[in-house]
């Protein structure tokens, strides 16, 4: 069994750089850990909740390892634990991972490997792109915000806390950047996984019909609106076996996992076997309203567009309980007329409720989340007061469909911003050898799109809020102060400036340096800032919905 502090800070850094392939992400993890359990705090308990327990960090860890403090108590005691201060179900998974590897739950190596496992599982099993976004982060600040909001999901997501953690992350970047030497690229997660296999192969053959999974998905796709099962990723359960050449044999310690996988496949078979008839009944009883349904599964109702697809839905049943609710137009108008800073605050409030399990689509389209959505929004201190007042008086399900209408209404993306975004997409499609439609359905492309759009949004937002639009854009346009700013961001900002100048028939220099043009510049950039913030927020829906919204914006009219 491992000792507790079995990695130095330098070793943690080296491991994270090896795992992410991005020093910005490694710094972000260390900076956020400093604000949680600490970079050497693998046995740290959440102090304010552990006061009445009567155990030190070491005693608590030893009791959990020995079983004298039982698993149920460890999971349910509400005490954040370890470097990331895991709680609840995630704490249970940490404990199970430790048991499977015969390691202490307080081992630093174990916890770093578990961090890697969570990020891989989120992407492979739930379709969440936290890992990809961290790998592709273009700055320490960007990586720190991604990790803080979407992995740690900490209670305080204020701009002040975001900046504070980014500064802590910068310290680690300055301390360790460039210090990792090339060597063994095997990550801790790979080592833990290989150690848990026991290294013994059996000659017992297991007959698994992998190809039939494709038929299952195809059959389902033909039945309902073209929705695919990519987010379920059933076939990926078997990928490690296929890639390692052990598809016809099994490793004893994997027998239980294979039984669970077989059970899942059987469950999917049973769902699909009955779903066709169920969907026909739903079609007959629930879609008899004045509206249109597209072949992609999107439908329009009372002038508003919706998507039938949703990831992370906690139920296998089709949820149509919100279809006949009226949208609160007062709220839509109030949001559309917010000043810039309040609009950005509102949109960031929406993204802040997203977790590794729930996308915005889940919150907006599944009635089981109606009360949760309202409660989460009401608890956000930065939410504009007039919007909070409207929300407090709204029925939770009405709130859902209203916000769904908002996130699918792309009118905020006006002509200049749309033109710049389209040029970027066209360039990305060309470099990826994809058509525009293919690009907007490609998973890795969507990750790149929302990463770059978010980066432009951050540049514009900071300039507008700090009232430094002209000077910031002049620096970017002239090639100055570009540290940690990606090439795509620079290109989009430069094109935006050129489009704004061309529309007024003036030079870029005149636009950015003459006071007579300052109001026009600020108004144009504010308009663009809202557009890029909106598109960035689309990335917090599930990938099917995000693809549909982008397609509606950029392939029509």
Mean pLDDT for 305-318 is 33
In this structure, of 122-126, 137-141, 371-375, 471-475, the range with the lowest mean pLDDT score is 122-126
Say yes or no to pLDDT of 198 above 80: no
Structural tokens at position 63: 């009791």
Mean pLDDT for 431-438 is 88
Mean pLDDT for 178-186 is 69
Name the DSSP letter for residue 516.
G
Say yes or no to pLDDT of 253 above 80: no
At 23 the pLDDT is: 95
What is 288-321 written as a DSSP string? -SSEEE-TTSEEEETTEEEES--SS-S-SS---T
Say yes or no to pLDDT of 199 above 70: no
CA dihedral for 450, 452, 453, 459, sign (positive or negative) = positive
User: Are the C-beta atoms of 451 and 136 separated by less than 8 Å?
Assistant: yes
- Read off the pLDDT band of 556 (50, 70, 90): low
At 181 the pLDDT is: 67
At 30 the pLDDT is: 95
3-state SS, residue 344: helix
* Nearest one of 489, 141, 528 to 340, comparing CA atoms: 528
At 369 the pLDDT is: 87
Tokens 């490694």 -> residue: 26
At 321 the pLDDT is: 46
Mean pLDDT for 264-285 is 51
Q: Which helix (H) or strand (E) holds 301?
A: strand 298-301
Query: In this prediction, what percent of the chain has a pLDDT beyond 90?
Result: 24
Mean pLDDT for 546-553 is 88
Q: Please indicate, yes or no, whether the overall pTM of this predicted structure exceeds 0.85.
A: no
Q: For 39-89, how does the pLDDT look when each residue is reduced to its tens digit (9 = 90+)?
A: 778 889 988 777 778 888 888 998 998 889 999 899 988 899 999 999 888
User: Are the C-beta atoms of 223 and 276 separated by less than 8 Å?
Assistant: yes
Residue, of 327 and 221, whose pLDDT is higher:
327
- Read off the pLDDT band of 165 (50, 70, 90): very high
To the nearest whole number, what is the mean pLDDT of the chain?
A: 76
């Amino acid at each position: 069994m491992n000792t507790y502090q079995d990695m130095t800070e330098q070793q943690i850094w080296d491991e994270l750089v090896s795992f992410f392939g991005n020093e910005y992400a490694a710094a972000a993890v260390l900076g956020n850990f400093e604000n949680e359990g600490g970079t050497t705090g693998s046995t740290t308990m959440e102090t304010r909740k552990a006061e009445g327990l009567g155990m030190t960090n070491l005693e608590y860890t030893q009791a959990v390892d020995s079983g004298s403090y039982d698993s149920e108590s460890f999971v349910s005691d509400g005490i954040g634990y370890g470097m990331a201060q895991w709680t609840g179900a995630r704490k249970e998974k940490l404990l199970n991972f430790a048991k499977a590897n015969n390691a202490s739950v307080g081992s630093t190596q174990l916890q770093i490997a578990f961090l890697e496992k969570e990020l891989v599982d989120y992407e492979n099993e739930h379709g969440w792109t936290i890992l990809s976004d961290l790998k592709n982060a273009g700055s320490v600040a960007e990586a720190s915000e991604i990790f803080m909001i979407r992995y740690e999901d900490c209670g305080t997501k204020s701009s002040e806390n975001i900046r504070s953690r980014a500064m802590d992350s910068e310290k680690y970047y300055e301390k360790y950047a460039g210090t990792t030497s090339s060597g063994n690229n095997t990550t801790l997660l790979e080592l833990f996984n290989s150690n848990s296999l026991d290294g013994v192969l059996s000659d017992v053959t297991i007959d698994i019909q992998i190809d039939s999974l494709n038929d299952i998905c195809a059959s389902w796709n033909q039945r309902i609106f073209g929705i695919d099962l990519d987010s379920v990723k059933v076939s990926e359960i078997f990928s490690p076996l296929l890639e390692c050449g052990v598809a016809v044999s099994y490793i004893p310690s994997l027998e239980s996992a294979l039984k669970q996988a077989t059970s899942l496949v059987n469950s999917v078979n049973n769902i699909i076997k009955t779903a066709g008839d169920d969907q026909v009944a739903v079609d007959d009883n629930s879609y008899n309203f004045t509206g249109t349904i597209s072949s992609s599964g999107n439908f329009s109702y009372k002038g508003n567009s919706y998507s039938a697809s949703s990831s992370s839905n906690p139920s296998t049943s089709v949820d149509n309980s919100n279809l006949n609710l009226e949208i609160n137009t007062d709220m839509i108008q109030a949001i559309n007329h917010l000043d810039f800073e309040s609009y950005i605050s509102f949109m960031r409030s929406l993204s802040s409720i997203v977790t590794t399990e729930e996308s915005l689509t889940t919150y907006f389209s599944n009635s089981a989340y109606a009360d949760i959505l309202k409660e989460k929004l009401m608890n956000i201190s930065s939410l504009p007061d007039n919007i909070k007042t409207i929300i407090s008086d709204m029925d939770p399900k009405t709130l859902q469909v209203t916000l769904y209408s908002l996130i699918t209404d792309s009118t905020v993306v006006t002509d200049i911003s749309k033109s710049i975004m389209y040029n970027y997409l066209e360039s990305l499609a060309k470099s990826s050898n994809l058509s525009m439609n293919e690009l907007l359905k490609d998973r890795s492309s969507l990750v790149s799109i929302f990463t770059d759009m978010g980066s432009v949004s951050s540049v514009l937002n900071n300039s507008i809020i700090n009232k430094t639009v002209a000077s910031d854009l002049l620096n970017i346009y002239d090639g100055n102060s570009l540290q940690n700013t990606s090439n795509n961001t620079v290109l989009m900002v430069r094109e935006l400036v050129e489009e704004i100048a061309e529309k007024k028939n003036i030079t870029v220099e005149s636009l950015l340096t003459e006071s007579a043009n300052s109001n026009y510049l600020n108004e144009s950039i504010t308009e663009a800032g809202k557009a890029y913030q909106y598109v960035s927020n689309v990335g917090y829906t599930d990938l099917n919905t995000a693809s549909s919204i982008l397609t509606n914006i950029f392939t029509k009219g």
